[in-house]
Structure 1
């Protein structure tokens, strides 16, 4: 989970760093989605076999929710705001949007105690908008909120899919790499890759976005959920904005403003409270009727693949 937090922070920092590099947003997107296809190439045949049995709506949600549309929204919002807000707003608003979408799709309700946590998240987002110095910054926060909404679609799709994490990563990367690569290679969009981008920039985005975010983050988070459980892993994941904020100060010279601090505290508190308040207390174990005495152990938690066939529970939404 510690590795996941660092990788998530690396995503926010590298998104903010696109403007300071020779690469365009489309260049960075191509590196982000093409690299996992190369690294995970041995598993492509398995992914092709499994994708035939998946519902088209779930596949579309996976590709849009974490693919090129999400990446470009995050890059656009990051260019208008700061790395700290990228790291706070996008993951911080996921519990709110997941709750709304789950209610709209399946009439799944959050627990009453969790509604107060969602109010804190809304207040944090409102502070980031109202504290914007320029209209561009306010627009950037709104764009980041849209990115959080899109990512929430991906979050719900992950719970509905029957694909394993590797196959899911390949499924969302393939169309995104194609959509980003065609305009770049045909010269239909400005590109530093075709014109000879700085090798250092290319290697950074291949390592951070392609290998780190595209491959390692998904596998690390899936492993953390198996070992820690969904609520604990999601709560620890809330530390990612803190890491982003701390590193962005020396890396980009971003000031830690009072508004950013208040936004971080509100959103972070809301995310942690939402997950902790959603944890169900274990029911008292009942002795087996046939063999009185020791309690029958409860079944183990389902793996992410098995859980994908079940309706989402909001306590593990972040």
Structure 2
């Protein structure tokens, strides 16, 4: 009976983890499209950052007021990695690149790079050893990135900004993934601390470099408030925290490889971006890679 109860709790936890990961990637795809859309407005990356982190910082204020801005039981280096990896630095790097990168390419270069970066950190720093199926999944993701790279070099469609800042953003996010798992914080606590610190950083940036947020039409502000603040800043951060707790850093990050497929078709439908057979191939290849790199197939074969 005890064993059955333990198995039930474990399966429930895994189910919550998978659900959290799937919710996260759907929101990320929406975020990519909304951020691409904002490039045609007067909203800058600082303005978007104020919205992205201001909403969750306000909603989760009871949480960070209780823990304090620097919790005593969390090593400072882990907190810094979390704030940089999922907060202000990550957001500025990726948003800057997204403004000049097609949604399909963002999905592959950012979403596809995340599980690769997470796996690399896990192997180098924490001694993780991916099995054959996970290795094949990561190889498929790498193949999708290679297709996009070759297309960009041949057609000069994507600039160096995309190939530098998006993978760098993926590396930052992977660092956050591993740091959060080892911080001992709950999803609410981690999300609250990242939000408040990132909001304060963006306030300083706005005071230093200025902001155009007051000149933007209310309809555009409403769209970004929903996509950046409520969905990406609050819902996705909490959902991803649940996924990391239940699945582990590398496996949770692997789900981000589903983002390319969603972003590719979302960009074509909502932004009228041209999508050819090679872009679809790269997106599908990286998306399929997640089925192996999450380790789901490995667990089923062991059973």
- 1:261 Cα deviation from its structure 2 partner: 1.3
- 1:150-182 CA-to-partner distances (Å, cap 9, x unmatched) read 111111112111111111011112221112112
Aligned equivalent of 2:180: 158
Task: Quickly say closer, same or farther: Cα 1:275–1:28, change in 2 above 3 A.
Answer: same
1:171 aligns with 2:190: no
- Which runs of 5 or more structure 2 residues have no equivalent in the other structure? 1-18
- 1:236-260 CA-to-partner distances (Å, cap 9, x unmatched) read 6654432222221132111112221
Aligned equivalent of 2:5: none
Q: CA RMSD in A?
A: 2.7
The separation in 1 between residues aligned to 2:104 and 2:84, in whole angstroms, is 24
Aligned counterparts, 1:140-289, within 5 A: 140-184=162-206, 186=207, 188-194=208-214, 196-222=215-241, 238-276=257-295, 279-280=298-299
The worse-fitting range, judged by mean Cα deviation, of 257-266 and 206-215 is 257-266
Aligned equivalent of 2:8: none
- 1:221 Cα deviation from its structure 2 partner: 4.2
The worse-fitting range, judged by mean Cα deviation, of 229-238 and 260-269 is 229-238
- 1:45 Cα deviation from its structure 2 partner: 2.3
- 1:114 Cα deviation from its structure 2 partner: 2.4
- 1:99 Cα deviation from its structure 2 partner: 1.6
The separation in 2 between residues aligned to 1:95 and 1:235, in whole angstroms, is 4
2:146 pairs, out of 126, 144, 150, with 126
Task: Quickly say closer, same or farther: Cα 1:113–1:183, change in 2 above 3 A.
Answer: closer
Aligned equivalent of 2:13: none
Task: Quickly say closer, same or farther: Cα 1:135–1:73, change in 2 above 3 A.
Answer: same
For the pair shown, the structure with the greater C-alpha radius of gyration is 1
Q: TM-score, normalised by structure 2?
A: 0.82
Task: Quickly say closer, same or farther: Cα 1:3–1:113, change in 2 above 3 A.
Answer: closer
- 1:103-153 CA-to-partner distances (Å, cap 9, x unmatched) read 221222222342222222222112212211327534313321111111111
2:53 pairs, out of 30, 33, 36, with 33
3-state SS of paired residue (1:145): helix
- 1:269 Cα deviation from its structure 2 partner: 2.0
Q: Tell me how many residue pairs correspond in the alignment.
A: 280
The separation in 2 between residues aligned to 1:89 and 1:241, in whole angstroms, is 8
C-alpha contact (below 8 Å) 1:183/1:189 kept by paired residues: yes
Task: Quickly say closer, same or farther: Cα 1:250–1:225, change in 2 above 3 A.
Answer: same
C-alpha contact (below 8 Å) 1:15/1:83 kept by paired residues: no
C-alpha contact (below 8 Å) 1:18/1:25 kept by paired residues: no
The separation in 2 between residues aligned to 1:75 and 1:49, in whole angstroms, is 26
- 1:70 Cα deviation from its structure 2 partner: 0.7
1:46 pairs, out of 63, 66, 78, with 66
Aligned equivalent of 2:159: 137
- Which runs of 5 or more structure 1 residues have no equivalent in the other structure? 285-318
The worse-fitting range, judged by mean Cα deviation, of 215-224 and 117-126 is 215-224
